[in-house]
Homo-oligomer: A and B are copies of this chain.
Amino acid sequence: MDFSIGELSRRTGVKVPTIRYYEQIGLLPSPPRTEGQQRRYGKDAVSRLAFIRHARELGFELDAIRALLSLQDNPDQSCAAADTIAKDRLVEVERRIAALTALRTELRRMIDECACGRVAECRVIETLADTSHSHGRLAEG
C-alpha cells in the first residue's frame, strides 16, 4: 500500500531527484519515512504528482501550480482564480505561437535563399547580420 520514491517515479514519470526537489520547495508534502529515513508514499502522492506533471507539461510555472494545488485542496472556494491562471497561460501560449510563427517564416526564407556556396554569399549569415528589424525577447515555454 505504500511504496518508495523510485516506485512513485515509475508511476508518474517524474524523475526521483525532481520529486525530492518538489518536496524541498514545498510543492509536495514531506511523506512519512521508514526507520532508515527512506520516504514512503501512498496513492495521494501519485495523484498530486501527476497533477503537477500535467500542469508542467502545459507550461504552468511552479508558482502557478502551487496556487492551483492549494485551490484543489479547497473544493468549496470559487474557481475564478484557477480560471485566471489558465487564461493567463493561454494568452502567453498564443503570444509564443505568434512569435515562433514569425521566426519560422524568417528561418525558412533565409534557408531557402541560400545557394549553399561560400560564407561570403550565405543568406543565413547575411540575414542574421541584418538589423533592420526586431523580434523582441524570446522567452520560456
Contacts and interface: CB of A to CB of B under 8 A. Distances in A.
B93 A54 contact: no
Describe A's contact surface by its main secondary structure: helix
Contact of A79 (B50, B106, B118, B136): B118
A129 interface: yes
Q: What is the count of identical protomers in the complex?
A: 2
A7 interface: no
Interface string A97-139: 1001101101110110010111111101100111100111111
Contact of A71 (B53, B93, B125): B125
A135 B57 contact: yes
Given A59-B103, A90-B104, A93-B103, 16 more contacts: A50-B129, A54-B130, A54-B135, A55-B128, A68-B128, A79-B122, A83-B116, A83-B122, A89-B107, A93-B107, A94-B104, A96-B96, A97-B100, A97-B104, A139-B141, A140-B140
